[in-house]
Chains A and B, each alone.
Chain A
């Protein structure tokens, strides 16, 4: 199972919007609507931010949104805030090799 591809880093100023991409294949991102996104602050456990491509868990700000086109999923954060600075990971169900889960390599978001 190969990792999903994410940009290593993105940055934006407070108030701006940024988008993080997550590219896979037809065996994972493109084939199923089981993409999730996690936020991880330094030294902390990951936190679920988006599931099923575009759904937000209760308590997650509506500034976070998700989408998918073909084999690429995207996480958009609007109205950037300093507290959004963190690492972000995408994940997907995969049917390659066997049933399983694959993560992206992670993207470091810097709020300038």
Chain B
């Protein structure tokens, strides 16, 4: 079955760039689907960060768009998240997930996330 696993530093300094990778097993990213990042600050709710279509088209949460880059590496069957100029407010558990949706050229419809990775806690602190 499809499995996703996040990896990356657990501690990032303020103003630096947070970088995470999601390794996918059991499915080839290049075959289809969207691939998304979602985060959850401690004790709070879920927030969509952004998604990437297997072809490389990206979609970002408008509130984070200026700081976010999501990319895909089909040769390694993984996708990545970069979040720049981080502050303590970016401290959260970061999840990656496969996302169902429909691509119609000029845009996309996004349906649901399944499955999810186990999540990785990233703390922003000096």
Interface residues, chain A, with chain B CB atoms under 8 Å away = 1, 3, 32, 34, 36, 38, 45-48, 51-52, 57, 89, 91, 93, 97-106
Contacts and interface: CB of A to CB of B under 8 A. Distances in A.
Contacts of B119: 45
B46 interface: yes
Contact of B51 (A47, A91, A101): A101
A57 B111 CA distance: 13
Given A32-B109, A36-B111, A100-B59, 15 more contacts: A34-B112, A38-B46, A45-B116, A48-B115, A89-B45, A91-B48, A91-B112, A93-B110, A99-B107, A99-B110, A100-B62, A102-B48, A103-B48, A105-B45, A106-B45
A103 B45 contact: yes
B15 interface: no
A48 B113 contact: yes
Interface residues of B, number: 27
Interface string B47-60: 11001000000011
B37 to A, nearest CB: 11
Contacts of B46: 38, 46, 89, 91, 103, 106
Q: Is the interface of B mostly helix, strand, loop or mixed?
A: strand
B109 A93 contact: yes
Contacts of A3: 45
B112 A48 contact: yes
Interface in B2-43: 36, 38
A3 B46 CA distance: 10
B20 to A, nearest CB: 15
Given A46-B46, A46-B95, A103-B45, A97 B62 contact: yes
Given A103-B48, A106-B45, A46 B113 contact: yes
Closest 3 CB pairs of A and B: A36-B112, A48-B114, A101-B48
A102 B2 CA distance: 24
A104 B117 CA distance: 20
25 contacts: A34-B111, A36-B111, A38-B46, A38-B113, A45-B116, A45-B118, A46-B46, A46-B95, A47-B116, A48-B114, A51-B112, A51-B114, A89-B45, A89-B46, A91-B46, A91-B113, A93-B111, A97-B62, A98-B62, A99-B107, A100-B48, A101-B61, A101-B110, A103-B47, A105-B45
